[in-house]
Amino acid sequence: MRINGPAEIRLAYHLVRLNITGRNEPVFVCFYLTNRCNLRCTYCFVVDEKIDRRTLSAEFTREEAFRFVDEFYSLGTRMMFLLGGEPLLHKHIGEIVEYIVAKGIVLHVVTNGTLLAENCEAVRKAHAVCVSLDGVGEVNDRLRGQGVYERALAGLQTARAQGVRCRLHSVVTRSNIKKFGETAKLARELGVPLTVSPPTHVGTTECEALRITDDEYRDFWRTYRDLKRQGYPIGNTFRAIDAARTWPIGYHEIMRDDTPLPRPYRKPARCVSGDIFCGLEPTGTLYYCVQLGCYRGPNVREVGLRRAWEILVRDRPNCLSCASINTIENSLAMRLDAGALCGRLASWFLKKAGGAR
C-alpha cells in the first residue's frame, strides 16, 4: 500500500478506523469483472474441463458493475483489484475504470498484458496496472502460450511509454522457480516493481507445473530475498518475505488459531479475508479467500450484497493465515503492522533519494 494521493489517504484513514473499532467492512475487494479470457494458461481455471462453459463466459454488465461498485463503496470499500479472466476483454472496461476511480477507490487492474497496448487509455486512470508474466521468453510461453511473452512485454512497454503506472507479477511454478533472477533483471530493465504469487490451491493439485515441495519453496524465498537485498525492484517487503521463508508448517496447509507451532515462532498477522477483504465473481458468488478449496459464500444476486457480506463474516472459518505471500503482505499492511509499514516507507525514501519514478 502506497500513500501517494487522496484515494490512498482515505484508504489509510479507513484502515486506522477499522483497526481501532474492530468493525468488519470489505475495505479491499477483488472484483472479477469477467471470466472470459483470450489465453489458456495451463494452470488457470479457464482450462478446467469440469467447470461449466456458462461459468467461463460469465461477466458483469456495465450497469451491474456500476451498481456493485456503489454498493461496495457504501459498505466501506476503498481499494479494488479488477481482474478476470481478462478484464481488458470487457467492452466497457474504460468506463468501469473511470467510475471506480471517480468514487475515490484505489484501483489496480490485473491483466495478462496482451491487450494492453490498445487499451492504455482505458486503464490510464487506474492507480496501477499489474501485468502477469511468469518468466522471460519461453519460460513464460511454456505456461501461457506461444508468442504471449512478446505481446505482453510490448503491451507493458507501450503502457509505460504513455505514463501508465505498471508492475510485473509472476506465479511461482516449476518452470520459473529456479530462474527467477531472469525475471528480476527484466523488471529492473523495465523500471517496474516485481511481485509474486504461489499457486492458489490448498493441498494437492493435478497440475504438474504447480507441484512444488516445501523445500523448493524455502529455497525460492531465500533466493527472492537475496534478489531484493541486491537491489532488484522486488515489491514485497522483507517482513512478508521472511514470514513466507520461515513458514513453520506445510506450504499448502492452512494455519488455524489452534495449529501447534514450534517455539518461539511468532504467529503471523491474522488474515484479512472475511474480515476486511472479499472477492466477487461474475457468477455472483461472494467469497472470503482466493485460495482454491476455501469457503465460498452466498450469491449476491440471491441475497443482496450487504446480506452476503454479513453471512461471509458470520461463517468465516477458523483460519489464521496461509503461506501465500499475498495473504501475508495484505494482512500486514491492512493490520497496520509496524514492521511492514516501516519497510514500505524505507523503500519509498530510497526511491526518492535515487530519483526513481
- Domain assignment of residue 27, yes or no: yes
Residue 310's CATH number: 3.20.20.70
* pLDDT in the model for residue 131: 97
Do the domain assignments include residue 207?
Answer: yes
Strands 296-299 and 285-287: antiparallel
Full domain range(s) for residue 135: 6-354
Residue 218 lies in a domain: yes
* Residue whose grid cell is 458493475: 65
1 assigned to some structural domain: no
| Distance separating alpha carbons of residues 174 and 169, to the nearest angstrom | 16
Domain assignment present for residue 225? The answer is yes
pLDDT tens column, 204-244: 677 787 888 899 999 999 999 999 999 999 999 999 999 99
Is residue 78 within 8 A of residue 10, CB to CB? The reply is: yes
Which three cell numbers mark 21? 473499532
Nearest CA among 316, 222, 331, 212 for reference residue 267: 331
Residues 31 and 83: beta-carbon distance below 8 Å: yes
8 A C-beta contact, residue 347 and residue 235: no
What is the average per-residue pLDDT within 145-171?
96
Burial class (CB in 10 A: 0-12, 13-18, 19+), 91: exposed
Where residue 147 falls (left for φ over 0; alpha for ψ -120 to 50; beta otherwise) is: left
In a domain, 89, yes or no: yes
pTM (predicted TM-score)? 0.91
User: How many domains is the chain partitioned into structurally?
Assistant: 1
Instruction: Please tell me the number of Cα atoms within 13 Å of 46 on its side-chain side.
Output: 16
Give the lowest-confidence range in 52-61, 206-215, 262-271.
206-215
